[in-house]
Amino acid sequence: MTELEDVSYERDSSMFFRSEHKRIDYIIVYQDYPKSEEDYNIRTKQRKEFEKNLISKGLELEYDPEPDSEDYNRRKYKYIKIHASWKCLLEGAEKLALQKRLKHSSNRIDEALNTNCLSCSCRNFTGFPPLPEDIECEPNYFTAPFDNDDIEQFDIELENQDEFFTNAERSLIVDSVLAETAFPDYDDDDEESTGNRMTFGIDKLVKLDIYRSCYPLHESLKRAESDDEDRRNLRLYWANWKRIFTFQPLDLVRKYFGEKISIYFCWLGFYTGMLIPVAIIGFVCFIYGVASFFRQEPVKDICEEDRLGNLILCPKCDRGCTFTRLKNSCLNSRLSYIFDNNSTLAFALIMSIWATVFLEFWKRAEKRVQYDWDVSHYEEEEKMRPEYELNNQKRENPITKKMEAFIPWTIKGPRKCLSLSVVLFMITLVLATIFGVIVYRIIFVAVLYSLPHNLIKERASIITTITAALINLIAIQLLSFIYRKLAKYLTDIEAPKTNTQYDNSFTLKMFLFQFINYYGSIFYIAFFKGRFAGKPGDKEGYFLGKWRQDECDPAGCFVDLFIQLAIIMGGKQIFNNVKELAIPLVRKYLRLKIGKTEHKPAENARWEIDRPLLDPPDNMFDEYLEMGN
């Protein structure tokens, strides 16, 4: 088949080359601040070689400003605009096995099966009002992995060539080319010996500060409605607080951001909808606890003096503490009953059933969305990661008889053992940290009881619980920060074959660690605290024979558990909101402020507007983890 030529676009000029007919699919930013002239020469060689290899793969580059222009040296940031040629798009689509629509209009699934759009039916699970009628569901067509040899079977004609690949698919193809393009790995100390060694990937160049960043462009919101309908609808009906109770336009999210992010938001909407009934039940149980705790006999026994309220209890410490009465635990007993009453058992049973029902219902919804979005067989058709394909040995595949990359067990085995050893060490470190917090509680409460201030003595247990929870929260965040970098490094050296295997390996490491890191101290308070206290004077009830073991209030450890949960979970949410909302806003403001003082774009260029934005996450693990907590 004759290669089709690029056709012109008539849209926002800031999204295209100067000729205004080649779309900008990606932007690379670089900045010259070399340590020395030799460093500058090496950076320049690597950059030029990389850009030369990009051109050889079918990408077209345009510079802003041009290297030989007068404005070049005055500008701090230099931009490389990338456009994927039609040939490059076809080759990239085949390599990535993109699912594309087959040619004949009779292949519409809706017409063939007489069914509605499957992804749109996902909205019914949330219980939210439907979207406005002007947002139509994406029609379903029979699709197949794109193959250049059978290009005539796909729904592509010269007049609709621009619409064959979506903007997200164009960016995805360019991103894959950038990830696998090689460049020389020069060494500052021994350039001659290492100049022939090749490495690859735009990420490596960004880490080396040869490039500052790389990103696809966002669609402009200032374009005409007819040219920007999807982007306009996303802004109006999705990224808008006024539409918080309206179902998400998942097809538009998928079209703009891709399947991985859109499936996350589909899960989030489904999860939110499923939480509504159990949230109502939980609130009813809470109201029942508030309304009935004055009538409960166990609470009356502790609080009323004519019952057991005047019962004398042993001192809480060996020195400086006096005998106390049971009625002093009245407040704790009431708080405990509010959250742990007769209805709690029924609520726990309901939550157990709900968890199973939620999982099974989500499996059904996920399969429907996967089928609708043609990602059901994604793992089977997924291609090798460039890091795996270019850095490993080759062998013949016994089935396809083609040469392909592989890692022998003599290399893979030690890497797996190293990874397992580091994960076990970090889990042990978490357990040691929890033990250290327990020791702190034992010693610090004894110190508070020894002080001459009665007010502090009366609140020694609460003060110790709060401070221990704060220390635990700091340790959790610090260990999570360190371990995340370790987990990513360990996953990198394992060199998984595909992106799915990479994400699965990384997720497993993070799950094992985060589960113990976040819930270890909570499990201790819920199931072990106070079990080893014993009686005053018993040797078994002392830590190192000197300090009394960690004890619960006579009303139980539920208040301690509540404080621990509130501080850890609440503190984690505050930390995440600061990290995800406040810090990005401050960084964006500073970048824009610095950018305005250095250079003001003459025509409000889209690539300069998008530069201050933060890079999207590599995977959605943190988002799922945050929702799970």
128-148, pLDDT tens digit by residue?
Answer: 555 555 566 666 777 888 888
Quick: pLDDT tens for 410-467: 888 888 999 999 999 999 999 999 999 998 988 888 888 777 777 777 788 888 889 9
User: Using an 8 Å Cβ cutoff, are 466 and 567 in contact?
Assistant: yes
Q: Using the predicted structure, report yes or no on whether residue 586 has a pLDDT greater than 50.
A: yes
Average pLDDT over residues 363-375: 86
| Confidence band for 614, pLDDT divided at 50, 70 and 90 | low
> What global pTM score does this model have?
0.77
Mean pLDDT of the chain: 78
User: Using an 8 Å Cβ cutoff, are 325 and 377 in contact?
Assistant: no
**Single-letter code of the amino acid located at 367:** K
User: Using an 8 Å Cβ cutoff, are 435 and 472 in contact?
Assistant: no
Q: Nearest 5 degrees, angle CA 618-CA 620-CA 624?
A: 155
Q: Using the predicted structure, report yes or no on whether residue 534 has a pLDDT greater than 60.
A: yes
When computed from its CA atoms, the radius of gyration of the chain, rounded to whole angstroms, is 31
Average pLDDT over residues 318-330: 72
Cβ neighbours of 372 (radius 10 Å):
22
**Single-letter code of the amino acid located at 24:** I
Q: Using the predicted structure, report yes or no on whether residue 59 has a pLDDT greater than 60.
A: yes
User: Using an 8 Å Cβ cutoff, are 418 and 490 in contact?
Assistant: yes
At 555 the pLDDT is 73
Rounded to an integer, what distance in angstroms lies between the CA atom of residue 386 and that of residue 176?
9
Q: Where in 173-291 does DSSP place strands (E)?
A: 182-184, 198-200, 213-215
Element (H, E) at 448: helix 409-449
At 475 the pLDDT is 93
Q: Using the predicted structure, report yes or no on whether residue 203 has a pLDDT greater than 70.
A: yes
At 27 the pLDDT is 92
At 4 the pLDDT is 41
Quick: pLDDT tens for 469-515: 999 999 999 999 999 999 989 998 888 888 888 888 998 898 889 88
Q: Using the predicted structure, report yes or no on whether residue 43 has a pLDDT greater than 90.
A: no
Least confident interval from 161-175, 316-330, 590-604 = 590-604
User: Using an 8 Å Cβ cutoff, are 302 and 326 in contact?
Assistant: yes
Q: Using the predicted structure, report yes or no on whether residue 284 has a pLDDT greater than 70.
A: yes
% of the chain surpassing 90 pLDDT:
17
Cα torsion at 115, 259, 243, 622 (round to 10°)?
140
Backbone angles phi, psi at 46, to 5 degrees: -65, -40
Q: Using the predicted structure, report yes or no on whether residue 387 has a pLDDT greater than 50.
A: yes
At 212 the pLDDT is 87
Output the DSSP codes for 505-561: HHHHHHHHHHHHHHHHHHHIIIIITTTT---TT-GGGEETTTEEPP--BTTBSHHHH
Rounded to an integer, what distance in angstroms lies between the CA atom of residue 347 and that of residue 355?
12
Average pLDDT over residues 101-111: 61
Q: Where are the domains of the chain?
A: 411-589
At 11 the pLDDT is 52
